[in-house]
Structure 1
Amino acid sequence: MTKKEKILLAAQEQFGKHGYTATTLKMVADCAGVASGLVSHYYGNKDNLFLESGGELIDQMLAILTDKAKAGENGIKSLEIFVQAYFDFTEQHRTTFPTLLRSSPFSDEYPHLDRTHIAAKFKQLIDRIEDYIIQGMDDGSVREVPLPQTSYLVYGHIVGAVRTEFLTPFQIDKLFKEACQFIVRSLAKT
């Protein structure tokens, strides 16, 4: 792993654990085992590092989810695989994934941060959901639903389940499994 990659991973962990406001570039540098100046050299300032760390996670996640969803034999199955893979990704990246919760366009943390770039990355996830819904309406596995509204509602449901799992004191057994099945039941053509 290069020093730049170590810095990005350390940033994801620190922002995920402490949030934007409480995380310092020095904390990131210490966690990565590099000099503070190197963090600034690669990423400029804390805003850029924060957004870059979230954007890199989305790119990584989208590649994995899209690849897994290719196994679906129709639109609803591809959507189900995509959603379950999203939840699996959050579980497998528990120390870094909270960075996405904090940097997302849905976050109220540090409201003055320009999230235009990160919003475009999140929009790729929503667009992929919409692709599977359209595929399903075309192949008959998904009932007719309004778009893009349904794509945003599906993503909102995913985000709600993830936020409940990561940010609340509630301990809900099999929440992700049921959230996925709820989405499938809501869209499947019967």
Structure 2
Amino acid sequence: MTRKEKILRAAQEAFGQLGFSATTVKDVAGRAEVSFGLVSHYFGNKQQLFLAAGFDMADRLYTRLEEAVAGDRTGLESVVSYMTAYFDFTNRHRHRFPILLRCSPFSHMEPEVDATKVAAKFRHFIDVLARCVSRGMADGSIRPLPVEDTALIIYGNIIGSVRTSLLTAYRSEDLFGETIRHVERSLKTAHAEAAVTTMPGTARDLIASQPDSTRHS
């Protein structure tokens, strides 16, 4: 791991745990075991470091989601694959993932942070979901719905579950799995196959592996 990568990882942990206001560049430098000047050299001020750390995590997640929805699947199966990959990524990086909840247009944004850049970055996540929903309506696996609103509602369900899991005292052994099933029930047509039960390696595996995956950082 390069020193720049160490700084990004440390920033993700610090901002995710403490939030923007309570995190200092000095704290990030200490976690990364580098000098304050090196952090400033790579990332400038705290606002730029915050965006760089958040966008690095967002790009990693986006790549994983594109991989998850690729291939010859129905739209409904793609939505389930998207949600499963999102929740699995959350679990595997749960000590750093909260940076995406802090650096998000779905959260309170600090006045010093460029909210326009954040919104543009997160637009990619909605666009992937919208493609899945459109595909599902075309292939008959998803009932006729307003595509944009439906994509936002699905993403809202995902974010709500992740925030509940990572940032609150509420605990549920199957919150992620039930969120997937809830969305699937809401979307599918009467004749559509159940994506969760027919697709190997998606929601059913996530539910089974959830206790182990929380140990990853």
Contact 1:62-1:125 at 8 Å conserved across structures: yes
Give, in angstroms, the shift of residue 19 of structure 1: 0.9
What number of residue pairs does the alignment pair up? 190
Gaps of at least 5 residues in structure 1 are none
Letter in 2 for 1:97: F
Equivalence for 2:115: 115
Give, in angstroms, the shift of residue 72 of structure 1: 5.7
Equivalence for 2:90: 90
Q: Distance in 2 between matches of 1:51 and 1:115?
A: 10
Give, in angstroms, the shift of residue 32 of structure 1: 0.8
Equivalence for 2:134: 134
Percent of matched pairs sharing the same residue: 46
Q: Distance in 2 between matches of 1:48 and 1:173?
A: 37
SS of the residue corresponding to residue 147 of structure 2 reads: coil
Kindly report which structure 2 residues correspond to 1:1-190, keeping only aligned pairs within 5 A, or say none. Answer: 1-71=1-71, 73-108=73-108, 110-190=110-190
Contact 1:9-1:96 at 8 Å conserved across structures: yes
Contact 1:10-1:28 at 8 Å conserved across structures: yes
TM-score by length of 1: 0.96
Letter in 2 for 1:139: D
Q: Distance in 2 between matches of 1:112 and 1:188?
A: 42
Q: Distance in 1 between matches of 2:12 and 2:32?
A: 11
Letter in 2 for 1:68: A
Q: Cα 1:125–1:182, aligned 2, differ >3 Å: closer, same or farther?
A: same
Give, in angstroms, the shift of residue 82 of structure 1: 0.6
Contact 1:20-1:109 at 8 Å conserved across structures: no
TM-score by length of 2: 0.84
Q: Distance in 1 between matches of 2:111 and 2:132?
A: 32
Residues 147-167 of structure 1 show CA distances to partners (whole Å, capped at 9, x for unaligned) of 211111111111111111111
RMSD value, Cα: 1.2
Q: Distance in 2 between matches of 1:107 and 1:31?
A: 25
Give, in angstroms, the shift of residue 111 of structure 1: 4.2
